[in-house]
Amino acid sequence: MSFDTKLLDGIVIFVKVIVTGSFTKAAEVTGHSTSYISKEINKLEARLGVRLMNRTTRSISLTPQGEIYFQQCQRLIDEAEQAEASVNQQQLEPKGTLKVSCPISFGFSHLQPIFSKFLINFPKVDLDLEMTGRQVDVVGDGIDVAIRTAVEVEDSSLIYRKLISSYGVTVASPKYLSTYGIPKHPDELTQHQTITYSYINMPNVWHYKTKQGKQVNVQLKSRVITNSPEMELNLAVKGLGITRMPKFYLGDKLDTGELVTLFDDYQKTPIDVYLVYASRQYMSAKVRCYIDFIVAELGNGQIGN
């Protein structure tokens, strides 16, 4: 169906003329000249093919067709003003449904109490939480704010705001190490059972860097590959393999001795957590207050140092 781009031309001017009662007053209200107002009314009548008003030097009056058209136009303008006021109100008051995506494990371990607190503080905002290990398409999936863990920020048009910093650790249980031995060099991992995370690029290649900056890349043949950090952790604790994951996923497993770290003489691999969203411009109140709230609760903190 074709759409006439000039369909609404002249409507506001026409209504202003009728409401104010004259071309001169309509010109004052709209900031145009009287001649401009007259030309717009003439073009509107020509497009419609009807005379909308009778006018003399002293007064104007609507024709029967003009009366019907005026009522319809007035209704259109009222609805447009209400729509604009509604949008402006949304910009001022946090309300409506906020769609958030975050990693399952990080959501449960660090964000669950913050989500609860947010809902209490902003009773007019509803949360649509997508807990997932996959990297969502923020724009394509209609996500307002995504929380991502990343070694480095992608070259993207999206906004990445660092939330917390941590690093990756290679861990195993004492039970596993007593059975299979302790690898001294990353290359020895090829002789061990490993548990890898599937939602990363090249999950079967682990990268290390010596204190001197030499890069070491190890090609693994994983005993288990999974998209669940919880599964990684549980299998490692049970002595079923060596895994590598962000330190903030480990909880107290290092303190209790259920897991121990390997290759501590290598450089730490930074793994940061980011808030990711489409744009800083024209941000709705619900998105702005959510970002500010999360940053206030966790922002720029250090986890696992």
CA distance 40 to 13: 7
pLDDT at 151 over 80: no
pLDDT at 44 over 80: yes
User: Residue 50: what residue type?
Assistant: V
Backbone dihedral angles phi then psi of residue 64, each to the nearest 5 degrees: -55, -45
DSSP character at residue 24: H
pLDDT in tens, 109-128: 788 899 999 999 999 999 99
pLDDT at 299 over 70: no
According to DSSP, the residues that pair with 210 across neighbouring strands are: 266
pLDDT for 106: 81
Q: Quick one: 220 exposed, middle or buried, by C-beta within 10 A (0-12, 13-18, 19+)? A: buried
Mean of the pLDDT values across residues 270-295?
85
CA distance 75 to 69: 10
pLDDT in tens, 155-210: 577 888 888 888 999 999 999 999 999 999 999 999 999 999 988 888 899 999 99
pTM listed for this prediction: 0.63
pLDDT for 304: 47
Q: Are 124 and 151 in contact (CB under 8 A)?
A: no
Write the CB contacts of 69 (distance below 8 Å, at least 6 apart in sequence): 14, 48, 50, 52
Q: Treating both helix axes as pointing N-terminal to C-terminal, what angle do 11-20 and 34-48 enclose, rounded to 10 degrees?
A: 120
Could you give all domains of the chain from N- to C-terminal order, each with its CATH number? 11-92 (1.10.10.10), 96-305 (3.40.190.290)
Q: Using pLDDT thresholds of 50, 70 and 90, give the confidence band for residue 1.
A: very low
Please tell me the number of Cα atoms within 13 Å of 218 on its side-chain side: 20
R_g of the chain, CA atoms, integer Å: 32
Largest CA distance in the chain: 104
